[in-house]
Amino acid sequence: AGAGEVEENMAAWLVAKNTLKIMPFKLPPLGPHDVRVRMKAVGICGSDVHYLREMRIAHFVVKEPMVIGHECAGVIEEVGAGVTHLSVGDRVALEPGVSCWRCRHCKGGRYNLCSDMKFFATPPVHGSLANQVVHPGDLCFKLPDGVTLEEGAMCEPLSVGVHACRRAGVGPETGVLVVGAGPIGLVTLLAARAFGAPKVVIVDVDDHRLSVATSLGAHATVKVSTRDEDLDAEVERIQAAMGGADIDVSLDCAGFSKTMSTALEATRAGGKVCLIGMGHNEMTLPMTSAAVREVDVVGVFRYKDTWPLCIDFLRSGKVDVKPLITHRFGFSQRDVEEAFEVSARGRDAIKVMFNL
């Protein structure tokens, strides 16, 4: 923007099925506890693609044009009067959900379950694929030197893995199975390693993704099919891949009957299965044989309180998310269209990132 002119804030709007348009986006006023952030890195999540294709996820329906994007980091441009922990120029990663702080979940320390959550790019709330956004300061976390803005944006997907590992109690005594090696499976693998899991086996139907998993630190990979009749043999191969260790925790990052059944059967008595993937809602599962071994199932919905830990994992090198960023784009209309195409196509694309 030239001297004296006010730059117009542009954003990527989801206006109709398969249609994204870069258009002006008027920022709300800056509250006393808010900050204004210039976006620098925004990743594309599977849910962004899903909204683009379907204009809905479950009962969340895009009825009005909505700015897309929620995995993001940027630079502080303005701070509200009550914000003391951030200054103009600070590089920050943004936690995308603003909860109500009045409901039982918020007060009880599980704010991710807030039924009044306002979450970037979950209709009717606008997202963050924009030049600038206004956001509560306490949801913006300063990045230390040595952690890039792209890595900052990766805190969002990484948070899902971190929250899953916390809920499942992954630690240095936990033999881990990860089912599904998509972006979420891979960050979950990274998180499990960072929580100290001494052995992590990961399975997928796709060879390429398994090879990425190996390069990210999986101890063993098992290629599986989508056929139910292979389940028993696959469970045996998975357990064998643990090399004598028990599977204490299985993290299902796909979310189908087959994957959850695999997880339930493979996990030792007294262990836990964590359901992260949302492939299907209805699943047919061997529940009683799990229950009598007291294999518990814990759900995962996003995350809470994860940014400081994610940033520390990145700073210390316990987690390296950079290999996950396979494609980069600018912020032109054409860039946005292409980037979503690449992300939707999958294959070798893991994380597609905008540099604004």
Question: Which positions lie near ligand NAD, rule CB under 6 A?
Answer: 46, 160, 179-185, 203-206, 209, 224, 226, 253-256, 258-259, 276-279, 300-302
Inter-helix orientation angle 257-266/231-241, to 10°: 50
Binding-site partner at residue 204 among Zn ion, its own copies, ligand NAD, none, CB < 5 to 8 Å by type: ligand NAD
Please report which helix (H) or strand (E) contains residue 290, including its range.
Answer: helix 287-291
Q: Does 112 bind Zn ion (CB under 5 A)?
A: no
Strands (E), 120-243: 132-136, 140-142, 175-179, 199-204, 220-223
Residue 128 or 306: the one with the smaller Cβ distance to its own copies is 306
- Across-strand partners of 175? 199
User: Does 283 participate in binding Zn ion (rule CB under 5 A)?
Assistant: no
Interface residue with Zn ion, options 30, 106, 249, 310 (CB under 5 A):
106
Instruction: Report the residue number, 23 or 100, with the smaller CB distance to Zn ion.
Output: 100
Distance separating the N- and C-terminal Cα atoms of the chain = 15
In order of 47, 51, 198, 240, 289, the CA distances from 178 in angstroms are: 21, 26, 13, 15, 20
Residue 127: CB minimum distance to its own copies, A: 19
Binding positions for Zn ion, 66-105, rule CB under 5 A:
99-100, 103
| Cβ contact 276:159 at 8 Å | no
What residue 84 binds from ligand NAD, Zn ion, its own copies, none (CB within 5 to 8 A, per partner kind)?
none
| Rounded least distance, CB 141 to Zn ion, Å | 16
| Closer residue to its own copies, CB minimum distance, 1 or 59 | 59
**Chosen from ligand NAD, its own copies, Zn ion, none, partner binding at 195 (C-beta under 5 to 8 Å by type):** its own copies
- For helices 333-345 and 46-54, the axis angle rounded to 10 degrees is 100
Token digits for 173? 């005594």
Q: Are 70 and 96 in contact (CB under 8 A)?
A: yes
Q: Report, in Å, the least distance between residue 88 CB and ligand NAD.
A: 32
Task: Give contact residues for its own copies (rule: CB under 8 A).
Answer: 33, 58, 101-113, 115, 136-138, 167, 171-173, 194-196, 198, 255, 260, 269-270, 275-276, 278-301, 304-305, 308-309, 312-313, 316, 318
Q: Which is nearer to its own copies, 124 or 198 (CB)?
A: 198
Which CB, 102 or 208, lies closer to Zn ion?
Answer: 102
Per DSSP bridges, beta strands 118-119 and 19-24 are unpaired
In terms of Cα–Cα distance, which of 73, 59, 67 is closest to 25? Answer: 67
8 A C-beta contact, residue 302 and residue 326: no
Minimum distance from residue 224 beta carbon to ligand NAD (Å): 5
Q: CB under 5 to 8 A by kind: which of Zn ion, ligand NAD, its own copies, none does 206 bind?
A: ligand NAD
Element (H, E) at 258: helix 257-266
Q: Give DSSP secondary structure letters for 20-49.
A: EEEEE-PPPP--TTEEEEEEEEEE--HHHH
Q: Measured from the CB of residue 354, what is the shortest distance to ligand NAD in angstroms?
A: 17
| 253 touches, from ligand NAD, its own copies, Zn ion, none (C-beta below 5 to 8 Å by class) | ligand NAD
Q: Contact residues for Zn ion (CB under 5 A)? A: 99-100, 103, 106, 114
